[in-house]
Amino acid sequence: MRMNLAKMTVVGIAILGALCPCAAWGQRRLPPAIYPEVRSIPYRDPSPLPPSGRDPGVPPATVERPQVQQGERLFSLDACLQTTLLNMDVVRLLSNFGSARAAVTIYDPAIATAAIDQAQAAFDPQLRIDQQFRRFESPSAVVDPGDPLRSLIVGSRTDDYDLFLDLSKKTSLGGVARLIARATPQRFQPGTFPLNPQSRSSAELQYTQPLLQGGGTAVNQVQIVLARIDTQRSFFQLKDAVQESVRGVINAYWDLAAARVDVLARQKQVEQAAEAVRYTQARKESGFGDAGDLAQARLALANFKASLIVAQANLLDREAALRAIMNLPPPGDFRLVPSTHPVDTPISFHWERLVEIAENRRPDIVELKLVIEADRQLLIQSRNQALPRLDAVALYRWNGLEGTMPVGTRLRTANGQYTDWTIAVNFSVPLGLRQERAGLRRQELILIKDQAFLQQGLHNMTQSLAGQLRRISSAYAQYVAFQETRKAARENLLIQRAEYLAGRTILLNVLQAIADFGNAVSSEARALATYNIELANLERESGTILESHGIRFFEETERMLGPLGRLGHGRLYPHSLHPSEPQPRFGESPEPWDRELGRLYELQPGEAPEEVRPR
């Protein structure tokens, strides 16, 4: 017996060792079930990791190495928004010279939706079926009937089969209904028994209903309501991130448009300064000029060229930022050229209506309200948990027995002949309910705190809307002022150039007029872009930027949220959560917007007022 026990122990250890996983790292393998103490940072060479397979594209453009005749592509603002939304698996936000990843993806609401089914699963019927085949052999010692001084070891054997079925269902009131059925056929040997084989059976109906703690529809649906609120919060968080991404696209678009106009203005400055250098060079060579004018012209030309390089570098950065948020490769293959006309007229707003719209549309305000709604659900749960436990229990059981008598005849009980029933009321309560009352008090304070956060959020919303209206007014006023400045600078340049050609002024005045005109052109375009950016910022602050550009989520058009199932007709959820295509809103042009402005700002050869033209 001792040898058998030792062999069984060895075999058991061997089986356990074989079942335990072997720790492996690279080519190193440890003995089974032996894990040494970790005293260093385990890391591996990342080079064997599979490559992403992403196409790096062409080398990016720089000021020193512009793109190799890549051509231009007209992009409207609506087209930029559409491209951004179609590439928005991960929401991207505008950063200084590119895009930053937001902590939100289009998959998040779908992931949160699964929690609703998980919470509702608490009310699904539960089925449990256990089956056991058993044999019991119990040895015992008895006195030998033939010799009282001796003993015998005898035993009995019982073979049975146990079938246990339990079907339970939790109700919305918190009660639990159960149907339990059990059957146990048995066979005994050796010996003579009243029934052999015999089978015991029973069927039981049981219902337990909480009367205080855990009872009621409201408290039992708290987890479902919380899951739905979390899903709505996830949806509005995604919507908030998409709104920020759309604003980033609009900002980057108008920044790019202003940067192109700035490059245009600096190019005109270089062209006009180069013309001044050629003119002064010719005057000096003919003996009518001096070295001072030529040096001033060359200095101005060098400064204008430096400003042009800065403007070109800024243009590449602005285009890179727009491409990044649109999920396009860096500038290098083609140039993005804005073609959308900006808004250049004043817009008035109704303050009370604007505040009302912002409170109902801003995702962050909606989320704060959803947090308060979740707090109220948790308050219902806390109040219920602060009640004593009082449960009503009702049970009714039918018992049955059948088997074969020694004479070979079957014997069984009649239906409903032997029954059990139980009616009980169970009560339990922690004396003082200190923990439960503390939880209730804590939840009440959390609700008050979140209500204060909502009021603070509404206050901040009002302040931001007021500040945005001030910035819109200021931006438009600056645009009008710079428009007048540009007209005055253009006229001044014409006059100064004509006066210089007539010999009535110095070259320095012409060079200063060239600088003033280029700066005025750039400032006017920058002010107009800022005005349009501030309008988009107001739409963002009021929560209407998506609706303003005709963008709708799938759930908002279909009035549903969650996996589509058979109703989706093959749609791959959550890819169908992509926002819809935006509707055109701005005027478009078959040529770049900055090129149209260039014709307005361009000086025609020999153009000058009649009274100052050289005679």
Q: CATH number of the domain that 263 lies in?
A: 1.20.1600.10
Q: Clarify whether residues 136 and 191 are in a common domain.
A: yes
Residue 503 confidence (pLDDT): 82
Mind listing the pLDDT tens digit for each residue in 248-290?
999 999 999 999 999 989 998 999 899 889 988 888 888 777 8
Query: How far apart are the C-alpha atoms of 443 and 451, rounded to whole Å?
Result: 12
Q: Please identify every stretch of the chain with a pLDDT value under 50, giving residue numbers as ranges.
A: 1-2, 21-28, 30, 68, 557-582, 605-606, 608-615
Q: Clarify whether residues 420 and 514 are in a common domain.
A: no
SS3 letters across 185-203: EEEEECCCCCCCCEEEEEE
Q: Clarify whether residues 204 and 244 are in a common domain.
A: no
Q: Clarify whether residues 569 and 475 are in a common domain.
A: yes
Task: Enumerate the β-bridge partners of residue 404.
Answer: 410
CA-closest candidate to residue 194, choices 399, 401, 415, 398: 401
Long-range CB contact pairs, 444-452, < 8 A, 24+: 444/379, 444/382, 446/375, 446/378, 447/372, 447/375, 447/376, 447/379, 450/368, 450/371, 450/372, 450/375, 451/372
Task: Enumerate the β-bridge partners of residue 142.
Answer: 152
Residue 107 confidence (pLDDT): 82
Q: Which residue has the tokens 């396009």?
A: 328
Query: How far apart are the C-alpha atoms of 174 and 211, rounded to whole Å?
Result: 9
* 492 is a domain residue: yes
Find the domain containing 137 and state its range: 125-170+175-213+389-428
> Which residues neighbour 591 within 8 Å (Cβ) at sequence distance 6 or greater?
74, 339
Q: Clarify whether residues 481 and 400 are in a common domain.
A: no
Query: How far apart are the C-alpha atoms of 307 and 266, rounded to whole Å?
Result: 7
CA-closest candidate to residue 424, choices 393, 400, 467: 393
Q: Clarify whether residues 399 and 255 are in a common domain.
A: no
Cα 378 to Cα 25, 114, 235, 371, 388, distances in angstroms: 47, 20, 21, 11, 18
**524: amino acid identity, one letter:** E
Residue 73 φ then ψ, to 5°: -130, 120
Q: Clarify whether residues 297 and 330 are in a common domain.
A: yes
Residue 279 confidence (pLDDT): 87
Residue 587 confidence (pLDDT): 57
CA-closest candidate to residue 429, choices 393, 391, 390: 390
Cα 515 to Cα 184, 281, 489, 522, distances in angstroms: 103, 20, 9, 11
Q: Clarify whether residues 499 and 608 are in a common domain.
A: yes
CA-closest candidate to residue 284, choices 300, 299, 295: 295
Mind listing the pLDDT tens digit for each residue in 468-483?
999 999 999 999 999 9
Query: How far apart are the C-alpha atoms of 280 and 291, rounded to whole Å?
Result: 9
Query: How far apart are the C-alpha atoms of 184 and 202, rounded to whole Å?
Result: 9
- Judge whether 192 and 407 are in contact, CB under 8 Å: no
Which of 428, 453, 482 delimits the end of a domain? 428
Count CB-CB contacts under 10 A for residue 147.
9
Encoded tokens for 416:
């409903």
* 32 is a domain residue: no
* 62 is a domain residue: no
* 221 is a domain residue: no
* 27 is a domain residue: no
Residue 283 confidence (pLDDT): 82
Cα Rg, the chain, nearest whole Å: 42
- Judge whether 350 and 357 are in contact, CB under 8 Å: no
* 207 is a domain residue: yes
- Judge whether 380 and 173 are in contact, CB under 8 Å: no
* 7 is a domain residue: no
Encoded tokens for 318:
């602005």
Q: Clarify whether residues 265 and 340 are in a common domain.
A: yes
Stated length of the chain: 615
Q: Clarify whether residues 204 and 254 are in a common domain.
A: no
* 63 is a domain residue: no
Q: Clarify whether residues 155 and 269 are in a common domain.
A: no
Strand 126-143 vs strand 99-105: parallel, antiparallel, or unpaired? unpaired
Q: How many domains does the chain have?
A: 2
Query: How far apart are the C-alpha atoms of 370 and 376, rounded to whole Å?
Result: 10
Q: Clarify whether residues 588 and 543 are in a common domain.
A: yes
Cis bond upstream, residue 609 (ω within 30): no
- Judge whether 221 and 186 are in contact, CB under 8 Å: no
> Which residues neighbour 597 within 8 Å (Cβ) at sequence distance 6 or greater?
261, 264, 521, 525
Query: How far apart are the C-alpha atoms of 422 and 393, rounded to whole Å?
Result: 8
Which of 381, 403, 428 delimits the end of a domain? 428
CA-closest candidate to residue 258, choices 322, 301, 304, 306: 322
Task: Enumerate the β-bridge partners of residue 25.
Answer: 28
